[in-house]
DNA sequence: GCAAAAGTGTTAGACGTACACCCATGC
DNA sequence: GCATGGGTGTACGTCTAACACTTTTGC
């Protein structure tokens, strides 16, 4: 059959907003753009969609290429299509965000991109509309994390409750009462207490926990409330 | 500057999922596809993106073309990019959903599409992946409406609380206790009571209300809970 | 023993849910 | 006067937010 007539094909790119958490700060992984225009400026990791690839597949490929990681939390954020967002050629960008365990990331995997982690508040100016995308991603993560247990994706397999609390505090940029937090999070039933303690951040030590993956999966779709309502 | 080399441009379409509410049922507006392939089959209203148009702009144009309406609630749902979703040519679809006041829609505006409203449960099979899109849109609307007052967009300027309640019942496909509903909705402060009553559905009559648009706008971003949590 | 972080306990009020009852009106 | 939907009232349990205190341990 003949193709659609009189239509203008455009390029479609997939960009990935990659978040990590080092135990102290929420961080963003960005690269130095390898091609013109704006070569060597900070940019999200992205690429054009392949001929036989769907959007999710392209996002996974791009993420794998930069980080070497499979099976990470990946969610489509939004498509961006300002006609002039890329000065060279009309390009629609479908943006994904990923939450990864930063400890699994190794700089050695693929150094050709000169990737670097920045604390969220210290991310440099990014090319095109990438900074806007990051802002939108943060909004969405705050929204999602208030209702669903997604922030566990940023933590290592074993983590402590104070670590988890600090992560929530980073994400919402506001202090949380630790007594209420502990109660809420243990009441959720999502955590399995380990016998070992993490002694690195206090004399007393904090118990490690693992995520109960079955319960996590089961509860994921239910509307939970992990943070208090903004005032 | 030269263009990006070795990349395959593809077509980008915008499809609109248009919801309306006639006082009894939640309905979907679909058209008979005018072009091959699958000509004359039921389809979402859509179109290819214009050269100097952004995605939101394209969605607005498409909506205007079919319904004659400006200024309607329109939200980007998701991008769909299965390589074979359109059998003729690789086409990425960026999908929007719209909530309109069905009374403002007039069949006369543009009859060339043979548009028709279907009750949500009676929507025929749609072309390509359009049925999947509609399902995703309903999920998102349920999600959004549980937290934000978006369903007002489906109602006329003046409406009664029983009407509003029925709308929520349609959207969540489950009965709501009218006494609790009334209290919750009036406590939100979003409604302004009118002096007239609607006598069409009961002897006693139900007071009309208007939406307090200022409060609506102010509260829109706060996480409200309009329905009870699913069990 | 002291500092510092981890963790348990308590309480008052807000909120959600369930349910009973009265109101207004046309027939 | 009675059927029908519209609307108010109440009571109880659960969740949340605010705040005080004890525990553990290295120095």
B223 has a pLDDT exceeding 60: no
Task: Give per-residue pLDDT as tens, A146-177.
Answer: 889 999 999 999 999 999 999 999 999 999 99
What's the CA gap between B145 and A37, in Å, rounded? Answer: 43
Phi, psi of A6 (to 5 degrees): 60, 30
Phi, psi of A162 (to 5 degrees): -60, -35
Task: Give per-residue pLDDT as tens, B4-29.
Answer: 988 899 999 999 999 999 999 999 99
Task: Give per-residue pLDDT as tens, B105-150.
Answer: 988 887 889 999 999 999 999 999 999 999 999 999 999 998 899 9
Q: For residue A187, what are the contacts with CB-CB under 8 A and spacing of at least 6?
A: none
| CB nearest to A9's CB, from B10, B37, B82 | B10
Q: What is the mean pLDDT of chain A?
A: 92
Q: Is the CB of A174 under 7 A from strand C?
A: no
C-alpha to C-alpha distances, A143 to A66, A131, A171, A223, B147, nearest whole angstrom: 27, 19, 10, 11, 11
Give pLDDT, residue B226: 53
Percentage of chain B with pLDDT > 70?
95
| CB nearest to A3's CB, from B88, B222, B223 | B88
Structural domains of chain B in order of their starting residue, each with its CATH number? 11-147 (3.90.79.10), 151-220 (1.10.10.10)
Q: What is the mean pLDDT of chain B?
A: 92
What's the CA gap between A199 and A201, in Å, rounded? Answer: 6
How far, in Å, is the CA of A183 from the C1' of nucleotide D18? 14
Task: Give per-residue pLDDT as tens, A4-48.
Answer: 988 899 999 999 999 999 999 999 999 999 888 899 999 999 999
For an interface test with A, the pick among B57, B62, B74, B81 (most A C-beta atoms closer than 10 Å) comes out as B81
B77 has a pLDDT exceeding 80: yes
Distance from CA of A196 to the nearest CA of B (A): 35
Give pLDDT, residue A2: 76
Least confident range of B82-96, B187-201, B208-222? B208-222
Which residues of B fall within a CB distance of 8 Å from A7? Answer: 11, 48
Percentage of chain B with pLDDT > 90?
81
Distance from CA of B67 to the nearest CA of A (A): 23
A130 has a pLDDT exceeding 50: yes
Burial of B25 (0-12, 13-18, 19+ CB in 10 A): middle
């Amino acid at each position: 059959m003949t193709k659609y007539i009189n239509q203008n094909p455009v390029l479609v790119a997939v960009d990935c907003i990659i978040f990590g958490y080092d135990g102290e700060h929420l961080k963003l992984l960005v690269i130095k753009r390898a091609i013109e225009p704006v070569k060597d400026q900070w940019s999200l990791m992205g690429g054009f969609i392949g001929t036989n690839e769907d959007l999710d597949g392209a996002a996974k490929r791009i993420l794998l290429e930069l980080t070497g990681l499979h099976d990470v939390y990946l969610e489509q954020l939004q498509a961006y299509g300002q006609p002039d967002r890329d000065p060279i050629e009309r390009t629609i960008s479908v943006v994904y965000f990923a939450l990864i365990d930063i400890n699994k990331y190794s700089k050695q995997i693929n150094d050709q991109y000169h990737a670097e982690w920045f604390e969220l508040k210290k991310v440099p100016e990014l090319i095109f509309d990438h900074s806007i995308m990051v802002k939108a991603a943060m909004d969405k993560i705050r929204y999602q994390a208030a209702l669903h247990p997604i922030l566990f994706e940023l933590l290592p397999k074993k983590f402590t409750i104070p670590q988890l609390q600090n992560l929530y505090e980073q994400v919402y940029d506001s202090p949380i009462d630790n007594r209420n937090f502990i109660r809420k999070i243990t009441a959720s039933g999502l955590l399995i207490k380990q016998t070992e303690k993490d002694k690195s951040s206090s004399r007393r030590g904090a118990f490690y926990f693992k995520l109960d993956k079955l319960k996590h999966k089961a509860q994921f779709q239910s509307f939970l409330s992990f943070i208090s309502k903004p005032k």
